[in-house]
Amino acid sequence: MKTNLAEYIKSTPEGKEAESILRTCVHCGFCTATCPTYQLLGDELDSPRGRIYLMKEVLEGNAVTAKTQMHLDRCLTCRACETTCPSGVQYGRLVDIGRNIVDQHVSRPLSQSIVRTALRFVLPRPALFNPLLRIGQSVRPLLPSALKKKIPKPGKSNTIWPALRHARKMLVLDGCVQPSLAPQINAATARVLDRLGISLVAAEAAGCCGAVTFHLNRQAEALDFMRRNIDAWWPHVQAGVEAVVITASGCGTMVKEYGHLLARDPQYAGKAARISELSKDLSEVIFAEKEKLEEVLGSSLAPRPSSPPPRVAFHSPCSLQHGLQIRGMVEGLLISAGFELTMVPDSHLCCGSAGTYSILQPELSQRLLKNKVDALESGNPGMLVTANIGCLTHIQSGTSLQVKHWVNILDERLS
Ligand code: SF4
Ligand code: SF4
């Protein structure tokens, strides 16, 4: 695609990056076939190709309007278009740059600004999010059903963390909302890795990966979350941890980008690149230890279950299959552990969670959720599993089946 970027942007690092991405797009439109918003709305401007065209217009200095902002807001950043694109267009990076510029030109209505600020302020801070969640859970029975569904029921969690007894050590990202919503995920990860001869370490000073803030277009603020994590993790990296394990694939895609996003920060560039290199989705870590896992599963250490394990449907989050381009690993591990996986039609499509999308675009999000739940339930599974806390809570709000992180059922199988 030919481009002629406007003076104000063309010499900036973002302008140069956006221009090189725009030039890889040949406008073939293959990506429209797998775009969830285009499938729902049928409007070219709600497809990847249409949004690329809108962003080109903005970057070339043409008028930026609320309509441009609306079509970019409706994008889930699911990156299914990247998986489909034969030319390797890095749509995710382009839309991050494009949205940021559009938000600088188009102010939002007050109500939208308040909601976005509240999300930015509360979600990345467990000290605020946790008490608010507990209040919400205590009044949950009194809430209207639409709101009730958005607040997960309180439940018992196994948060027992094994002693750090192995020479092999890995760090884990604690994250922001996950410790409040599902503390059992990282604890189960620690127990499973312990059985595989790896001790999992949590660095207390680390927290939100920065994704919530970044995708709400406060990118400079998000870089501070990233720097804080790097500072918290660095002593452990120097002590020789083998990996930074991420149990929420949405966070995993963000940490993989630390190196790129902090490349122009002389103090953090090298460290950020090293952290991105060390960051691994949990499925990659356990898949690399599959032989050992099968040994443990086959040994007397893992008693045979008295009844067959339930048939499960796996929802592969967009961040896992499109963002990190990891496919088949979770499925392979669950099959090794004796689970039967049911077929999930259109498994490439987003569930509608997409970070804060379910709150900011409720109508589209609910339509995607219904389609996803129908697809997941179509093979009559006994349970649903996934790999990202956002998808987990969102899908749980639309089904009566139990939804778990896959590591929890693997942990149960090993216990
Ligand atoms: S993003 Fe890729 S698939 Fe979509 S129009 Fe451009 S080149 Fe074609
Ligand atoms: S990221 Fe997802 S919603 Fe956005 S344009 Fe690509 S496929 Fe469509």
Query: Which pLDDT score, from 0 to 100, does residue 39 have?
Result: 97
Q: Would you state the pLDDT for residue 112?
A: 95
pLDDT band, residue 157 (cuts 50/70/90): confident
Mean pLDDT, residues 181-203 taken together: 97
Q: Could you give the C-alpha distances from 224 to 118, 211, 231, 315, in angstroms and in order?
A: 18, 11, 10, 32
Find out whether the beta carbon of 357 lies less than 6 Å from any atom of ligand 2. Answer: no
In this prediction, residue 144 has a pLDDT band, given cuts at 50, 70 and 90, of: confident
Average confidence (pLDDT) over 242-264: 98
Alpha carbons 203 and 232: distance in angstroms, whole number: 6
Burial class (CB in 10 A: 0-12, 13-18, 19+), 115: middle
- Looking at the predicted structure, is the pLDDT value of residue 415 above 90? no
Name residues whose C-beta falls within 8 Å of residue 182's C-beta, 6 or more positions apart in sequence. Answer: 157, 389, 392, 405
The yes-or-no verdict on residue 301 having pLDDT over 80 is: no
CA–CA–CA angle 126, 128, 130 (5° rounding): 60
**162-171 per-position pLDDT tens digit:** 999 999 999 9
Per the prediction, the chain carries an average pLDDT of 95
What does the alpha-carbon distance between residue 125 and residue 19 come to, in Å, rounded to a whole number? 35
- The pLDDT score that the predictor gives to residue 143 is 82
Q: Write out the H or E segment, with its range, that includes residue 272.
A: helix 269-278
To test the pocket of ligand 1, the residue of 30, 51, 78, 84 to mutate (highest count of ligand atoms within 8 Å of its CB) is 30
State the distance from the centre of ligand 1 to the C-alpha of 81, rounded, in angstroms: 8
Lowest mean pLDDT among 37-46, 148-157, 315-324: 148-157
349 close to ligand 2 (CB < 6 Angstrom): no
Q: What's the pLDDT at 162? A: 97
Determine contact, residues 250/355, Cβ cutoff 8 Å. Answer: yes
Lowest mean pLDDT among 275-279, 299-303, 314-318: 299-303
Share of the chain above pLDDT 90, in %: 90
SS3 170: strand
333-353: per-residue pLDDT in tens? 999 999 999 999 999 999 999
Ligand 1 pocket mutation, candidates 35, 81, 93, criterion most atoms within 8 A of CB? 81
CA–CA distance, 415 with 412 (Å, rounded to integer):
5
pLDDT digits (tens, 9 = 90+) for 266-288: 999 999 999 999 999 999 999 99
CA 176, 177, 183, 185 dihedral sign is negative
> What is the pLDDT at residue 303?
55
**Which is nearest to 225 in space by CA: 270, 171, 181, 173?**
173
Per residue in 351-382, pLDDT tens? 999 999 999 999 999 999 999 999 999 999 99
Within 6 A (CB) of ligand 1 lie 25-31, 48-49, 52, 81, 85, 87, 89
Cα-to-centroid distance, 299 and ligand 2 (Å): 45
Ligand 1 centroid from CA 32, angstroms = 8
Residue 305: pLDDT over 70? no
CA dihedral over 28, 40, 90, 84, signed as positive or negative = negative
Query: What is the pLDDT at residue 306?
Result: 60
Q: Which is more confident, 206 or 303?
A: 206
Question: Is the shortest distance between the CB of 51 and ligand 2 below 6 Å?
Answer: yes
Give this prediction's pTM.
0.95
Residue 369 to residue 395: CA distance in whole angstroms: 7
| pLDDT tops 80 at residue 108 | yes
Measure the CA–CA gap between 155 and 221, rounded to whole angstroms.
33
For residue 299, what pLDDT band results from cuts at 50, 70 and 90?
A: confident
Residue nearest ligand 1's atom 8 by CA:
28
State yes or no: pLDDT of 152 exceeds 90: no
